[in-house]
Amino acid sequence: MGKRIAIILVIILITGLAIMGYFLQQSRNNLRTDPYKAISADACVVIETVDLKSFLNSLTTGTGLFGEIGKVKELNRFNLGLKYLADLLNRQNFNRLFNEGSSIISFQTDKKGTIVPLLSMQIPGDIKTRHIKEILSSSGINNLAETTQTGISVIAIPFSLENRKDTAYISLISGLLVCSNSKVLVAEAAVQNDRRKDVRNEPGFSRVLMASGKNVDKIFVIFHNLPDFLRPMFVQGRNNISEKIARLAGTAGCDIYISEDGLVLSGYTESSDSTELLNKYKLLPPRDFHTFKILPSATVLFETLELPSLKLHIMYDTSVSQEASDLARKIKPYMGEEITRAIIDIKRHTAADNTLLIYELTNRVQVEQLFLEEPGAKNETLYFTPDDQTKIPVYKTPFKGLIRVLLPGFAPDFNETYFAFYDNYMITGNSYETITKILYDNILNKTLANDLVYRDFQNTLPSRAGYYFFCIPSHIIDYLSEFLNEDIINALRTNKISLNKIQGVGYQFASSNGMIYNSMSVKFKEKAREESTTEWETLLDTVASIKPFFFTNHITGAKEIFIQDMKNNSYLINAAGRVLWKVPLKERIMSTIYMIDYYRNGKYQILFSGKNYIHLLDRNGNYVERYPVKLRSPATNSMAMFDYDNNLNYRLFIAGEDKMIYSYDKTGNVVRGWNLFRTAGTVRAEINYFRVSGKDYIVAADESSVYFLDRTGNKRLSLKEAVTVAAGSSMRLNSGSEPSVVCSSPDGTIQHIYFDGSVKKFSIKKFSAEHSFDLFDVNGDGFGEYIFIDKGILYLYNHNRSEIFSRDFGSDKIDGPINFIFSSNDRKIGVFDEKKNLIYLIGKDGKTMTGFPLRGASMFSIGKLSDKNEWHLIVGGTDRFLYNYKLDTEIK
């Protein structure tokens, strides 16, 4: 019995040893075929991909960010090579090469300083060199040559890209396929494969690799290997930047996420050396940054740094005056937790003049007092006055170089000249214009925090950080020219159209798990980022809901703008774009807006109506007594206001859902002596008033009839022929020897209604029932032209019924026309493309006015904001801003 047990135990032991041996052998094989083994420690960038074919395909789809990169001429050779390789690996016969497991692509610099790539990938164990040659031959690659390098077989594949000849070298090394265009690198990979150390032994690499995602593509940067890679990119005198980058940390690793909207990298950076620049941020708790909330939306670059314990250098900086150093030491106790350097896009200024430093303060009042009382201060106080009610001091001072005392190295070449205080921030800069730009844009709420493009970008990065960098690449080329070599800058300028499609690039880091967690985002959109051409933009709570109205300030004579948004808030905005008041209303404005002198004392009020009320606001946004006035019946049309005898005895006409036409006086009472007139149908269009031959005509139209009434509400005129007015038709008085009211019928027939009751009709062209019609003397010859808009096409006919032009806007959502008179011989037709959110001004010959189309998402108004001979167009935008464009009325 004992002997049998012993035999069983021996069998079990032998079996166990065999199994152990098998797994040890497998482990040894896996170790030898680990693709990292072929990557030497001098690699500066390493990419690990879990699926090489898919990764290459994502870079060569021709769409999104990498599709746009594929159009860059300067990268044509690289892109062609990438596309060639992707196409090759997608062929059916290459499937034999792929095994489950990662592939590694590394980049090293050779002795000439050229960047050389190396691919290392695991392949099935039964694949030999002859199989590789067979696969290549079956793919049409026959000019192969096989050589030996340091004892290993190397396949040489000559190829040509852009008439430049090169050679790819492939070798099988212990179950790995190694490929490069450097024969030396392939040979060194064979030697490297037998070494105990590879790139993973570089400082921090293994820890970063362990923290990365498991089944995602990733990229690693080994900082101390970067100088040779980066040095050629910089201009002479800036080469030390590459050495600074080398001292940032040990290794950074990020998971790669590619989409049609751009690129996101996220992962960890490890710094184990206390002399490395990022080492001190490993234990710095992340926080929510605030400074970006006051940065103008015209900011093209900013970086914000967390300052938990700001330390001043005791060493005296000879470039900084003693007075500035003393002031810095006094300011220090009141410094907040962040500091920001920003570049604002102001044309005709250098990047240095457009640069601001913004210090967060814990006690703004105390710092400003210290600033003004500092011995040696010779401050010149300038005042920023965008309007007659706003006055912000800007100090021009001798205190230059504060930043070199407070935070050496953050902005070493910066010399503050101008200082200003806003909220809990001290703002410093070299240019008065740049300082006032940030002040003005905050008055208008035109900041990054309210910029839809920036907010969309911001969502791609974590909300908390210790450092945050953001830029718009296409807008900082001049700034980059101070650092990058001429070839790179010329390439950026040449490809600015492509660069404009990058909405933003951002990078941030924060401490996490004893390391630094970093994120980078490149936001791409096929539609290029548009540059603003407005004079100013003012933020509303939501998008504008009505056509802006020009109101006259009776105190100063200046023009102001009245507008309502989709939340029914009404605003009065001055000529500088500052919101004077915001008043919530009970309802949406339905009517034309009027300016009246209610008290007959030269002071003006704003009159309008909604569905249920008539509203009258004074210049301060307060209701005039008794207002709002409840309508007798909910309105079905826009209120019309008439002053028959120009004596301020206003009459207000509104049609109700009860089909009655009501007349109210300025106090909101129904006019005595007005006989309520009932229409057969519902009146949708605004009621008109005409005076012809000393007689008054109040004209209303429903869906089937037109009514001519007198001041008492009785019929003044009976038509001899039925007239039906199209829903989109205006009713205009055509003056002359035989005055008539002109309108169009639902099928586009033009109808002249004469004041003897006769009607003349003629058709120029058949139009749909959705057309718009108006009569307007476009060329100033004394005769009105017929204007139609139908199915996205604007038509203009002269009084002889001949077509002057037709203009197709390529959109089926065209609103208008709006008629504008700039002078006796300068008149334009305005249209609004609701689908594309574009607005146009069209001249008498159908040509577009200079500078158009403009961005806009509402009907628009044009007027003068000052006594200068300048026209301004006011329109609402899709981004909640009200835009002010200054116009050049010339034709392209």
pLDDT tens, position by position, 176-230:
888 888 888 888 888 887 777 899 999 999 999 999 998 899 999 999 999 988 8
Residue 326 · residue 374 · CB < 8 Å: yes
Tell me: pLDDT of 774 over 80. Answer: yes
Please tell me the distance from the alpha carbon of residue 465 to that of residue 344, in angstroms, as a whole number. 23
Tell me: pLDDT of 314 over 60. Answer: no
Please tell me the distance from the alpha carbon of residue 165 to that of residue 81, in angstroms, as a whole number. 12
pLDDT of 371 reads: 80
Residue 140 · residue 93 · CB < 8 Å: no
Please tell me the distance from the alpha carbon of residue 538 to that of residue 881, in angstroms, as a whole number. 5
Please tell me the distance from the alpha carbon of residue 762 to that of residue 233, in angstroms, as a whole number. 73
Q: How confident is the model at residue 683 (pLDDT cuts 50, 70, 90)?
A: very high
| 69-112 per-position pLDDT tens digit | 888 887 777 777 788 777 877 777 777 777 667 899 999 888 77
Looking at every residue in the chain, the average pLDDT score rounds to 89
Show the DSSP H helices in 627-679 as ranges. Answer: none
pLDDT of 798 reads: 94
Nearest-Å Rg of the Cα atoms of the chain is: 37
Tell me: pLDDT of 242 over 60. Answer: yes
Tell me: pLDDT of 32 over 60. Answer: no
3-state helix, strand, coil in the chain (%, to 5): 20, 35, 45
Q: Is 113 exposed, middle or buried (0-12, 13-18, 19+ CB in 10 A)?
A: exposed
Helix axis angle for 364-373 and 322-331, nearest 10°, is 160
The token pair at 243 is 């050495």
pLDDT of 652 reads: 97
| 253-281 per-position pLDDT tens digit | 999 999 989 999 999 999 999 899 898 88
Please tell me the distance from the alpha carbon of residue 830 to that of residue 839, in angstroms, as a whole number. 7
Q: Is 84 exposed, middle or buried (0-12, 13-18, 19+ CB in 10 A)?
A: middle
Phi, psi of 22 (to 5 degrees): -60, -45
| 323-372 per-position pLDDT tens digit | 888 888 888 889 999 999 999 998 888 888 999 999 999 999 999 988 88
Would strands 750-754 and 299-306 be described as parallel, antiparallel, or unpaired? Answer: unpaired
Write out the DSSP string of 130-177.
HHHHHHHHHTT----EEEEETTEEEEEEEEEETTEEEEEEEEEETTEE
Please tell me the distance from the alpha carbon of residue 680 to that of residue 704, in angstroms, as a whole number. 8
Average the pLDDT over 407-436 and give the result.
Answer: 90
Tell me: pLDDT of 11 over 60. Answer: no
Sign of the CA dihedral with 188 first, then 190, 196, and 198 last: positive
Please tell me the distance from the alpha carbon of residue 101 to that of residue 103, in angstroms, as a whole number. 7
pLDDT of 102 reads: 85
Percentage of the chain surpassing pLDDT 90?
62
| 442-475 per-position pLDDT tens digit | 999 999 999 989 999 999 999 899 999 999 999 9
Residue 387 · residue 396 · CB < 8 Å: no
The token pair at 49 is 């991909």
HSE at residue 842, side-chain half, CA atoms within 13 A, is 27
Q: How confident is the model at residue 891 (pLDDT cuts 50, 70, 90)?
A: very low
| Other CB atoms within 10 A of residue 118 CB | 25
Average the pLDDT over 798-812 and give the result.
Answer: 94
Please tell me the distance from the alpha carbon of residue 591 to that of residue 606, in angstroms, as a whole number. 12
Question: Omega before 232 cis (within 30°)?
Answer: no
Tell me: pLDDT of 375 over 70. Answer: no
Residues making up the chain, counted from first to last: 892
Closest by CA to 668, choosing from 760, 579, 596, is 596
The token pair at 770 is 């959705």
User: Which residue type sits at 226?
Assistant: L
Helices (H) and strands (E) counted in the chain, each on its own, are 17, 52
pLDDT of 222 reads: 96
Q: How confident is the model at residue 890 (pLDDT cuts 50, 70, 90)?
A: low
pLDDT of 358 reads: 96
Average the pLDDT over 518-527 and give the result.
Answer: 93
| Other CB atoms within 10 A of residue 123 CB | 21
Please tell me the distance from the alpha carbon of residue 541 to that of residue 543, in angstroms, as a whole number. 7
Query: How far does the chain reach from its first CA to its final CA, in angstroms?
Result: 110
Tell me: pLDDT of 24 over 60. Answer: no
Q: How confident is the model at residue 17 (pLDDT cuts 50, 70, 90)?
A: very low
Q: Which long-range contacts (CB under 8 A, 24 or more apart) does 50-58 make?
A: 50/102, 50/215, 50/216, 50/217, 52/89, 52/98, 52/103, 52/121, 53/86, 53/89, 53/90, 53/98, 55/217, 56/82, 56/85, 56/86, 56/89, 57/86, 57/90, 58/258
